[in-house]
A and B are shown apart, each in its own frame.
Chain A
Amino acid sequence: MNTLLSAALLVAFLSHLMFFAIAKADWHDYYAIERVDYPIEIDPQVGGLTAMKDGRLALTVMHGDVVIYDPESETWDVFASGLHMPLGIVEEKPGQFLVIQKPELTRLIDTDSDGKADQYQTVYDDFGMTGNYHEFAFGPVVDSEGNIFVALNVASNFNGVFEYIRGEYSDLCPPKDKMQQWHDFEKWKQGYRKKVTRMFSCAPYRGWVMKIAPDGEATPFASGFRSPAGMGFDDNGRLWVTDNQGDWIGTSPLHHVSEGDFAGHPASLHWKKGWQKPHSEIEAPDLLPLRKPAAALFPHGELANSPTKPVKTIAKSLFGLPEGELLLGDMNKNHLIRYLPDEIDGTLQGTLIPFVGGNALGIGNYTMDFSSDGALWVGKVHMNWAGGEGLLKITKKKTPFLIESVTLHKNGFQITANEPIEAMPDAVSITHHTYHYHAKYGSEKVDVTSVVPAKLTLDKSRKQLFITLDSLAENRLYTIDLGEMVSANGKPLMGTVLRYNLIKRAGDSQ
C-alpha cells in the first residue's frame, strides 16, 4: 500500500514538475516585444502603419496626422495633418502615400521634398456618408495590377443620420426625417430606434468592398460586410478581409474575397442591383443562396472579438514563421493569430492558431507591418472601446516549435510541425461546432460535438502527425487541441489549439 501510495505521489510529483516545465514555456523565449518610446505630441492611437522602403515607418494617427517615425534616429515628423480618422496607409513611392480617411481615399504628395505633404488629392470619394459615427472606411490595399481596394463600414442604430448627407439615401431604409431625430438619445432609444436594424446601410455602398482601378473608375466589388476592419493581400494575389461578430455574424470571420461575393451581412444589399427587400424584412433563407462561407472563424471570446488587419509573413529566417502566411491581431485579445490556408477544390478554408501573446503585447493590436530587417511593428488603437495605444516592435530571438501547416485529407488532418515531434501526443482532443446565422447579435456555439480520433500516426521524419477520423463534417469549425507537445529538441509546442474551418471535405485524391 505504502509502495503504491509512494508511486502515485511520485507520478504526481513528476506531473507537477512537468506542469511547471510546460508552464514555463513562454513566447518571450522566442520573441522580444519592445514598446517604442512615444512622444507626448503625437497621438498614440495608430490607425494605419506601413514600413517604408527606406526603413522608416509611416503611421496614420486618429487625430488626423500622418507621422513618419525613424527607428534609427528615433525621430518623429508630421508629414500630413487634418485627415478625418485615417485608418490605413500605403507608400506608393518616396514622398507619396495613399491614405484612407472617413470621407475619402486620398493621395498625399510632397511635391517640394520638404518632408511635408502639400497635395491632398482625392482619389475616390464617390460613396455615401450619413454622418453616423460608425461609417468607418478601411483599407487601402493594392493588388499587383494597381487596383486599390477599400471597405466601407455600415452605420449603427446607436445614432441616426445627419441633416445633410453625401450620396443617395436608400428608399429601402426608414424615412430620413425619422432617422434624423436621434439627438435626444433617451427619446431615440425608447422610440424610433427600435424600428431600425442594429446596423444599417442607407447610403451607397456601406457594407461593400470597393475596387478602384488605376484610371479611377470605382466598382462595387463584394458585399455583405459589417465592420470589415482588416484587409490584406497574400503572396498569391488573394484578397482577405476580416469582419466583426455582431448582428448576422455569429463569430468574427476571415473572408477570402472574390468579385461578386456576398459575405453574409444583409445591410449592404440595399445597393445590390435589382435588390428590393428592405434590410429590416430580410430573413436568413433570403440570404443562404447568396452567402459565401468565411474561410476562417475566430471563436468569440476565445481567439478574437474584433480581428484586425492581416499582414503576410516574410522570410522564415527573419521572423520564424513560414513565408506568405497571414498574421492578424485582435482588439480584445492579447495574442496575435496565424492563418494557415488550405484549399480544397477551389474553396479556401484553413486554420487559425494563436501566436505571440501576453501582457507585454497587450490588446488593441490593430495594424501591423514587417520592416525589411525582419521586425514586426504593431500599432495600437482603441477609439474608446477595448484596445490599446502606442507602437510595439516584435523581433525573433529564436524560432519556436510550431505547426507549419494543417491540411485536410479525405480521412483526417495532416499536421506538419517545423521540428520533429518527440513523442506521439497522448491528449489530443477534438470537437466541432457551428454558429447560428441570424439577425441577433452574435451566436453561441451550436451543437458542440466531441470526436475521438480513430488513429494518430507520425511519419518517419516525425514532423508530420496524421489524425485519422472516422468521419468529417462540412460547414463545421473543428477545434483540435494537441495538448502538450514537445519537439525532439525539448522545445514545447507554441500554439497548441488549431481551429480549422471545414467548409468542404477533401476528395479521394487528398
Chain B
Amino acid sequence: MMVSKSVCTICFVLLLMTLSVDVYANDMGETAFKENCGACHNLKQNSTGPSLVYIGEHYPETKREAFLAWVKSPGKKNPDMIQMPAITYLDNDTLAAIHLYILDVSKDQKQEGEKPKFAPYKPPQRPYPQVLRHYLPFTSPASIAIALNSELTVVWDTTIAKLRYVYPTGANFDGEKRREENAKAIMYSEQSEVLFSFVKNTEIMFKGYQLIKGEPEFHYQVGNVEVKERIHLGSNEKSFVREFTITGVKHDVALTLDHSSLSSIRLNGKPLTDDNVHLSPEQVSSFSIEVEL
C-alpha cells in the first residue's frame, strides 16, 4: 500500500509537471513573441531592435493601444537601429498577448549596456592602391573608389566611364550621408561628364577592369573605339597619372579637362595651358595625363 501511495504521489507530481509543460507551451504571448519578434529583440540588451526592458518601460500596460499602433505602423526611434517591419499580419489579440508577455518577462529586469549583436567588421589594412566599389556622393551608384595612397582617393564612375573627383583617403565618403561636409573635402573634380569628344551622345559599354600590379586599368567601348585607362600614383604623393591606350579612333579627338581647384595638369609630361586639347588619332592611341594637386 505504501508503495502504491508513493507511486501515486510521483504520478500526480509528474501529471502536474506535464500539465504545466502544456500550459507553458501554450502561452500564446510567448509563442507569438518567439515566432515573430525573438530574432531581433533580447530581454535586457538592445541588439537588432530595442530590449524588452526598453519596450516595457515605454509601453506599460496603460499604453496597450499605443503599442498596437506602433507595431502595426512603426517609425524609427533609434538612428542606430533598423526600422521594424510593420506587423499587420497578427490580430489585436495576439499582439496584446505579445505585449503582456513582454511586460511579464521584463518586469523587475534592468536594461544592460548597449551591446551590438555583432561586432562591426574591421578590414585589415591592405597595401595601396585599394580598389573598392561602394555608394559614393556626387557620382552614380555604380562608381569605384581607388585609394592610391593615404592621401588621394580617385572616384571613377562606370556609368559615364570617367574620373569624377578626388577626395582625401580616409574621409567618410559613404553614400549621400554627409554631402555638405564631403563637398568641401573634394580636392579635385572634373566639370564635364565627357572626357573624349567621341563619347558624346554615344552609348558607353563599361567592360570592367584589370589589376596590373594592383593598379586598375578600366576598359570600355564607345562605338568602335576601345579605351583602356590605367590609374596610378604620380611623381609625388599629391599627384596621379591616367594612362590611356585607345584603338579604333579615325578622327581628331577633343579632350575636355575642365576642373575645379588649383592643380597642374601635364599631358605626356608637358604642362597644359588649356583644359581643352585636340589630339590626332595617332596621338590619342597612347598618352598620359598627370594631375598634381
- A: residues with CB less than 8 A from B are 5-6, 9-10, 12-13, 15-16, 19, 41, 43-45, 62-64, 81-84, 101-104, 106-107, 117-122, 125, 129-131, 133, 135, 158, 162-166, 183, 185, 189, 245-246, 250-251, 300-302, 305, 331-333, 363, 382, 384-386, 389, 440-445
Contact = CB atoms under 8 A, between A and B. Distances in A.
Q: Helix, strand, loop or mixed for chain B's interface?
A: loop
A166 B89 contact: no
A384 B18 contact: no
Contacts of A81: 126, 130-132
Contacts of A331: 39
A122 B208 contact: yes
Nearest to B8: A9
Would you list the 3 A-B pairs with minimal beta carbon distance, nearest first?
A: A9-B11, A386-B39, A84-B133
Interface residues of B, number: 62
Contacts of A131: 135, 140-141, 175-176
B125 to A, nearest CB: 10
A166 B142 contact: yes
B206 to A, nearest CB: 5
A442 B121 contact: no
Contacts of B108: none
B48 interface: yes
Interface string B12-55: 10110110010000000000100110011000000010000000
Contacts of B134: 64, 84
Contact of B91 (A84, A135, A305, A444): A444
B281 to A, nearest CB: 26
A164 B139 contact: yes
A305 B10 CA distance: 43
A194 B55 CA distance: 26
A359 B207 CA distance: 45
Contacts of B17: 16
Given A19-B21, A81-B131, A103-B133, A162 B176 contact: yes
Contacts of A19: 18, 21
14 contacts: A41-B123, A45-B121, A64-B134, A121-B207, A129-B141, A162-B140, A166-B141, A183-B177, A183-B179, A189-B76, A305-B36, A385-B48, A389-B118, A442-B86
B207 A122 contact: yes
A18 B177 CA distance: 59
B88 A440 contact: yes
A363 B37 CA distance: 13
A135 B40 CA distance: 23
Interface in B111-143: 117-118, 121, 123-124, 126, 130-135, 137-142
A384 B48 contact: yes
A12 B15 contact: yes
A118 B212 contact: yes
A103 B126 CA distance: 23
Given A12-B14, A119-B208, 8 more contacts: A6-B7, A9-B12, A19-B21, A103-B141, A103-B142, A120-B211, A129-B142, A164-B138
A245 B89 CA distance: 10
Given A63-B121, A118-B212, A122-B207, A166 B159 contact: yes
A13 B206 contact: no
